[in-house]
Amino acid sequence: MNNQNNAKKKKLPFNVIDILIVLIIIALGFGAIARTKLRSSTADAQNVKAVITFKMSDVSKESADKIKVGTVLYQNTDSRLIGTVISADEPVLYEEYIEGEDGKLVLSTYNGEDENADAIQNARYSKTFAVECYGSDTAGAYSIGGVRYVAPNALLDLISLDSEFSATILSIEIKN
């Protein structure tokens, strides 16, 4: 009787475990394709080129002269690449408003007419320079390297190979 029951049972041409293995392989294939498409779209979003104009203020002439075309800048807090300087103006005398003896605001600057060597040596300068960087531009906000959102008037602590300074963002121009 056992032989008859076994004979009546038909063997399936495939095993349930085989079906599960095939379904898992198909799911892994779709997952790999989806991930590749996601990675390429994310990489494209990270490759938005921008030119950010910075201004460093109240620095010595030596510090201002260290920032020139070709200087690579990094963010001081985590050493992330900001970009490369593509243009740099000559340093100009730093101007600021200070309170005078009579309580009024007076524009203070070193004008080069003082022959005092200490005044010349201690003169403070400002310098404007443009940096080419890559990041993402989403919803009207630009993110350097996809990590740090920046906007005009933001102050960033920057470092190069031979200097460390703070600079204010004057403008961000997205390039296509």
For 16-39, give the secondary structure using H, E and C. Answer: HHHHHHHHHHHHHHHHHHHHHHHH
- The set of residues, in sequence order, having a beta carbon less than 8 Å from that of 141 and lying 6+ positions away, is 149, 151
Rounded percentage of the chain residues whose pLDDT exceeds 90: 24
User: pLDDT tens digits, residue range 84-112?
Assistant: 999 998 888 777 677 778 888 776 665 45
CB 63 within 8 A of CB 163: yes
Whole-number average pLDDT of the chain: 79
Q: Give the pLDDT score at 130.
A: 95
Q: Give the pLDDT score at 43.
A: 47
Q: CATH fold of 48-94+124-175, please?
A: Elongation Factor Tu (Ef-tu); domain 3 (2.40.30)
Q: Give the pLDDT score at 121.
A: 57
Q: Determine if the pTM surpasses 0.75.
A: no
- Give the pLDDT band (50/70/90) at residue 123: confident
Name the 3-class secondary structure at 146: coil
Which of the pair, 170 or 176, is modelled with greater confidence? 170
Residue spans of the domains in the chain: they are 1-46, 48-94+124-175
Q: Where are the alpha helices (DSSP H) in 47-116?
A: 61-65
**13-19 mean pLDDT:** 80
| Token output for 125 | 């300068």
Tell me: pLDDT of 15 over 90. Answer: no
**139-160 mean pLDDT:** 82
Tell me: pLDDT of 131 over 90. Answer: yes
